[in-house]
Amino acid sequence: MFNTSKILICYFTLFKILQANELMECITQRQSGFHFLGKDYYEIIKYLGLERFTISISRKRKDIVKKQREASQSTSNKNFANIKNVHFLELIVTNSKNHPNVFHCSWRYRVNVDKISDNNYECIEQKQKKDLFSLDYMGNFSYSSTFELLNKNSRNTLHSIFGECKKIKK
C-alpha cells in the first residue's frame, strides 16, 4: 500500500509538471540561517536537493495579462467585477531528488496600472502552510522553510535560500 501511494503521488506530480505552462531551472546562490545548523551549509542545501531544482508554474504572467486586457476591453462587459486584481496559480518545486512540494500562489496585477514585471508571485506551501516561496519577473527567488528534514531544527525556525531561475524551453 505504501509503494502504491508513492507511485500515485509521483504520477500526479509528473502529470501536473507536464501540464505546466512554464518550467524553470533554479540554482541556489546564497542562504540565510543554515550556518546555525553547521558550517557545512552548502552540504545541507545539497542534502536537501536544493542546490539545483526545478519549478513548474501553472499559469504564465503573459496569459493572465492577455485575459485581463480582453476582459477590460470587452464591449459586452461593462461590469468591472469581472476584472480581477489578484490572480491565483500553482507552483511545484521539485528538488534534485525528485521530491515535489506544491505551493499555492497569488500575483497582484491591475490592468492599466501595473506592469507585467511588477509584483512577485507570493506562494505558500499547500500541505502544512509553513513554507514560503517568492518569485519575481526576472526569475529571482527566495524559499523559506523550516526544512523539517533537519533534526536539529526543533524550534521550527525558518531558513532561507535565494537564487535565480531560468526558463526551460519545451
**Length of the chain (residues):** 170
CA 168 to chain centre: 15
For residue 119 the three cell numbers come to 509584483
Residue pLDDT, tens place only, 20-75: 588 999 999 998 887 666 677 788 888 889 999 999 999 998 888 888 888 777 65
The CA distance from 108 to 81, in Å, is 16
Q: Cβ(91)–Cβ(131) under 8 Å?
A: no
Q: Cβ(54)–Cβ(37) under 8 Å?
A: no
Query: Taking the domains of the chain in order of start, what are their residue ranges?
Result: 2-167
Strand, helix or coil for residue 2: helix
Residue pLDDT, tens place only, 121-165: 999 999 888 899 999 999 999 999 887 655 554 566 778 999 999
